A and B are shown apart, each in its own frame.
Chain A
Amino acid sequence: MTAMQALLVSFLIVAVYAAILGALIARTNPLAFMMLTLAAGEMISHSVMLEGLRDYTGGADGLVVGFKGAVLGMQAADFANAARFWPVAWTAAWIAGLIIWTVRRSRLGAILRAVRENEERMRFSGFNTYAPRLIAFVLINMIAAVSGLLHVLNAGFVSPDSLSLSVSTNALVAALMGGVASSAGPIVGGLIFSFAQDEFGAHDATQLFTGVAVVAFIILIPRGVVGGILDAARQSTRSLVGRKRP
């Protein structure tokens, strides 16, 4: 199997796993859904440590990932080179953003926004809310799979720590910081979170500052940075329009 084929198979495995897991948990209420998602992550995290799977997962030592030949026209060493890897990651991020933006503007996007806001009303409007939730779950898992594959190609190594609960919660914290009201929110949140981790990580205070940041964001800007900026812009526009009136 070539490296490219292996990547595609990995991607498909994630998609199938997401579809099966999603089919089981997409019916649950938001809190149960979140808990089950994290629990499923923990299940995988502990599975890779099983002695019987050590040959495939590397167990607690992790897995060195190397390949011969080319992937996307690049050798294994090229992926470790920031100057070569950056355009690939940047392009992937833009494609993912474009997909999300397109979905958001589509009928499916309108249905997903409405389900997020008031699922009961959607059911009382004749919609089956299970299918859109499942589609969204699989779609977002596929995007996460792309980022995971890029991470592996870049690092050349998979640590069991990358499957830990803290990595999952980091993504939630980043989304909370940026705000989930728009597609840009989680991206902005991710940038802020990564920057903050680099800064505070050096002082060995990552968890402390993460906790403080979560509390501060929930209290001060519950709609996140992007949501807060949008609200402020809307208020400014309103007050300007209000002043112009006689």
Chain B
Amino acid sequence: MLKTEKLSVSYGPLQALSELDLEIDGDGVLHGVIGPNGAGKSTLLDAVCGRRRPTAGTVRYRGQDITRRSVAWRRRHGMARSFQRTSIFQDLTVYEQLRLVAQHLGDRRLDDVIQVMDLADYLDEKAGRIAYGVQRRVDVALALIGRPHLLLMDEPGAGLSAVETLRLFQHLRDLVRERKIAAVAVEHDVDAVFACCDKVTVLDLGRHLATGTPAEIRADRRVVAAYLGSAA
């Protein structure tokens, strides 16, 4: 589904990602990306979705080199993204914004997204006036419209409690399996990632440290030493 080859991103003299090789499987796999602050997790998503142009390396999506494709092109071809800081249209009602995107992407199953993200009670509310947890769901719902093949999520649990984050991840895992899509979730909450993700990648200082199942990652000495410590 997604493959990065020697992907590097730098912010001036700072090397945020360094020759990262990563492969994300499709068909119902929820892939977690963890790592300490400054590991390059969000930069990885930015480079994959086209928000930031890599300084070197390539991004392959469904076999095609998309490194220089625009954000809008990637979205129209099934790569969707949600944001760490909720990125919705505060002044539009929940329904207005979902319908706008659904019409544009030609998705006639908007009701399905509304039901999956449990937004039926908030459709007529201006998005800026609903609770933060619901806003997070609207953010993910906007990404789910158009039946994406690959869903990229930057800290979907940001601002939520540990219980809410775990519930959201369980919800996402079910969704990913049911729709047979690939999803990548960058997340700080390691417990939620280990509980719900099928695969986990650990980054450290912009480099790939390990990829494996949650059990393999927990047992990886390099990961424990660099990141998990006693938490493992």
Contacts and interface: CB of A to CB of B under 8 A. Distances in A.
Do the two shown chains form a genuine complex with each other? yes
Given A113-B91, A114-B89, A121-B87, A126 B104 contact: yes
Contact of B87 (A107, A111, A118, A128): A118
A181 B83 CA distance: 25
B101 interface: yes
B49 interface: yes
> SS class of chain A's interface: helix, strand, loop or mixed?
helix
Contact of B89 (A107, A121, A181): A121
A107 to B, nearest CB: 7
Contact residue range for chain B?
Answer: 20 to 34
A29 interface: no
A84 interface: no
Interface in A96-150: 107, 110-111, 113-114, 117-118, 120-121, 123-128
Contact residue range for chain A?
Answer: 10 to 19
Interface stretch (B7-15, B68-76, B178-186): B68-76
A110 B101 CA distance: 11
A94 B144 CA distance: 42
Nearest to B75: A126
B92 interface: yes
B66 interface: no
B104 A114 contact: no
A127 B103 CA distance: 11
A126 B105 contact: yes
A114 B92 contact: yes
A126 B92 contact: no
Given A113-B91, A120-B87, A126 B103 contact: no
B81 interface: yes
B53 to A, nearest CB: 14
B87 A124 contact: yes
B142 A125 contact: yes
B89 A127 contact: no
B96 interface: yes
B156 to A, nearest CB: 15
A150 B101 CA distance: 40
Contacts of A113: 89, 91-92
A85 to B, nearest CB: 38
Given A110-B96, A124-B81, 6 more contacts: A107-B100, A117-B90, A121-B83, A124-B80, A125-B142, A126-B105
22 contacts: A107-B103, A110-B92, A111-B100, A117-B92, A118-B89, A120-B87, A121-B87, A121-B88, A123-B71, A123-B75, A124-B49, A124-B71, A124-B87, A125-B75, A125-B101, A125-B104, A125-B105, A125-B145, A126-B75, A126-B104, A126-B146, A181-B91
Interface of B: 49, 51, 70-72, 75-76, 80-81, 83, 87-92, 96-97, 100-101, 103-105, 142-143, 145-146
Interface of A: 107, 110-111, 113-114, 117-118, 120-121, 123-128, 181
